[in-house]
Amino acid sequence: MPKALSHWDDDTFDLIEDERPRARTRTRREWPWLRMLILSGVIVAGLVHLAKREDRVEQQEVLQGPREIPVATLTAPAPAWAAIDRPNSIFALDKAAPSVFEARRHSSGGRADTLTFGQPGESGYARLTFTTNVQEPRRTLYLDLVRRAAEASLSVTRNAPSETIVTKFGPMEMAAITLVDRTEQSCQAFRFSDEATGFGFLGWRCGSQAQPLDEAQLACFIDRIALADAGNAALKTLFAQAERNHIGLCPPGAHTAFASPTKATARP
């Protein structure tokens, strides 16, 4: 009897020990599914909450009406050039009165004076632009002419290679060009600049089809440029020196007549 009881007890405990690990294994395998169910429930509940919140916000916006959107304030930069009201003329062409005189002030303090004589297409038509204390990029004569011609509602269709012309201001650049308005007109363009004083001018004068403007006539025309106002000390010195260089090769008529180009003696 004692042995049977001992045997029975061993088997019984063995069965109990075999059942415990199996129960623990099944319990561990069931936990991941439970966690996934709980996590899915939390996510669904969060999405439902967010949807309800958006619905409430939309309902409030509908009740409050459309919101005002602030208008962006755009401030345009100040223009580089501004017209001068009732300007005094600093430059002149002897006693010839320009048909149009304009003056503009640059934001940097510089100034541009434009004198126009006659109308495009007329014999003797001329336009000059003087700049003082204006720092501009160095361009070719052609590019400067195109820009200035556009300001006068003209276009440059042809230009010859640049040459050098001698005037009272010294050697300067010139070129034969063709300006177009309603008709084509042959003209002589010129440009002068003095870096020391910050002064320069660019312009053109046109002849007629029967009597084109030559180099000597253009030199006499440029020699007529003078100061109408005292200007600053640097300009006074420059023009005083130019007058000393004036050797008087142009005939008297070249300094008074303007309507038609006057033949002049060529400079050496």
Span 96-120, pLDDT tens digits: 889 999 999 998 889 999 999 999 9
* Token digits of residue 16: 């109990």
Q: Which helix (H) or strand (E) holds 22?
A: helix 2-64
**CA distance from start to end of the chain:** 155
Beta-strand relationship, 184-194 and 199-206: antiparallel
Q: Exposed/middle/buried for 47, CB within 10 Å: 0-12, 13-18, 19+?
A: exposed
Mean pLDDT over all residues of the chain? Answer: 78
Q: What is the pLDDT of residues 238-266, one digit of tens each?
A: 999 999 887 666 765 444 344 333 333 33
170: helix, coil or strand? Answer: strand
Beta-strand relationship, 170-180 and 184-194: antiparallel
CB 259 within 8 A of CB 124: yes
205: helix, coil or strand? Answer: strand
Q: Tell me: pLDDT of 89 over 50.
A: yes
